[in-house]
Structure 1
Amino acid sequence: MNGKIVGSVIMISALVAGVALYYLQVYGFYQEATSELPEVQLVSLTSNQPETILAERIQAIDADSSPIRFRACFETSSSLAMLTETYVTLEQATPRNAPGWFDCFDAAAIADDMASGRALSFLGQKNVEFGVDRIVAITEDGRGYIWHELNDCGEKAYDGTIVGEECPRRDEN
């Protein structure tokens, strides 16, 4: 009889812990990022600085728990032809999954659009936080998506590799 009680307590504790962990990962840490993204920016080919582009219907989420949890969706009337002549494009970018409830951001569909050439990726901002770049993908029909991705310095810093002189100094806050 005692073994059944102990087993039941362990099973119930595991279930509660699993539900809590799921909730925290999918819902608990995220909040709408309305004040954090007043405009969409891309890095200019000429100035190498972020510049604001036309964007509307911006929706964004973020979490304080990680610098790579940022996701956003928007629409733009700017053409891909104009954007590629004006802003820094990226050869490699990997859309990061968003919580299922943030339904405007489908990482698999964005990746498919990028692989097929229906969407192009741009550098939105270098080192938005140490070792993390803001990536912007825009489709042919003007839908846009933003996420954060580790850059070379970030990957080195977080896997323990020696960072080297080519990386900026990390602010210790």
Structure 2
Amino acid sequence: MSGKAVVLIILAICVIAGGGLYYSLQYAYYTTVARNTPAADVVLTQAQGGAVTEVPIKDFTGIDANSSPLRYRACFKMESPLDTLVKAFQTYPDPTPLTAPRHFACFDAKKVDQMLKQHKAVAFLGRANIHYGVDRVVAVSQDGNGYAWNQLNRCGRAVFDGQPVPQGCPTPPEEK
């Protein structure tokens, strides 16, 4: 076999493997969150008492995956004014929107992060420990657009980095 043929075969394998990797990262594990399921309910944690309350929304679009608790993303329109939400619900101290796959165009993590940093949006605690060490964060912009994602909290960051469980954190679940 000539050197050119070997190089072409290697290049073809690389292109196919690269395409497979791209597909698996962007599409393979994600599923659409149906509107009539609990995963589509947008909840916020009350500032007084810490109760979790479902809030009215419209135009919900969401994706999730079983492969990781951090793959949840959602976009929606909040029906309550932002100033009402700020008075009633816990804000989230260090929101970090996680990048969504390209096909989920409504969730632009850089744009959401920029709105949060410019105080054009506010992040709220949706539900603490929706999975061990993972909080659901809900950001709402001044124009009522809402975005939700799952984010590691301090307990999750420590445990998943192999560090001891921080004081005040629940015991992590046993590994399967």
**Contact residue 52 and residue 127 of structure 2 kept, 8 A:** yes
Please point out which of 59, 62, 65 is paired with 2:61. 59
* Code of the aligned partner of 1:169: T
Q: Which AA in structure 1 matches 2:163?
A: T
Alignment correspondent of 2:20: 20
Does the CA contact (< 8 Å) of 2:33 and 2:40 recur in 1? no
Deviation at 1:2, TM superposition (A): 4.3
SS in structure 1 of the partner of residue 39 of structure 2: coil
Provide the aligned C-alpha RMSD in A. Answer: 1.4
Could you tell me how far apart the structure 2 residues matched to 1:38 and 1:131 are?
21
Could you list the structure 1 runs, at least 4 aligned residues long, displaced by more than 6 angstroms after superposition.
none
Partners of 2:40 and 2:62 within 8 A in 1: no
2: CA distance, partners of 1:148 / 1:89: 15
| Greater CA drift, 47-56 or 68-77 | 47-56
Distance 1:98 1:126 in 2: 21
**Any residues of structure 2 matched to 1:16-95 within 5 Å, and which?**
16-34=16-34, 35-95=37-97
Q: CA deviation at 1:164?
A: 3.6
Instruction: Give, in whole Å, the separation in 2 of the partners of 1:151 and 1:123.
Output: 11
Q: Which structure 2 residues correspond to residues 131-142 of structure 1 after superposition, within 5 A?
A: 131-142=133-144
Distance (whole Å) between structure 1 residues aligned to residue 43 and residue 73 of structure 2: 14
Partner Cα separation in structure 2 for residue 90 and residue 38 of structure 1: 20
Give the letter for the 1:76 counterpart. Answer: M
Unmatched tracts of structure 2, length 5 or more: none
CA distance in 1, matches of 2:141, 2:157: 28
Residues 79-128 of structure 1: per-residue CA shift (max 9 Å, x gap):
12111111000231111111111111111111111111110000001011
For these two proteins, the number of residue pairs brought into alignment is 173
Q: Taking structure 1 as the reference length, what is the TM-score of the superposition?
A: 0.93
Identity fraction in percent? 37
Q: Out of 122, 130, 137, which is 1:128 matched to? A: 130
TM-score, normalised relative to structure 2: 0.92
Distance in 1, matches of 2:41 and 2:161, equals 32
2: CA distance, partners of 1:51 / 1:168: 23
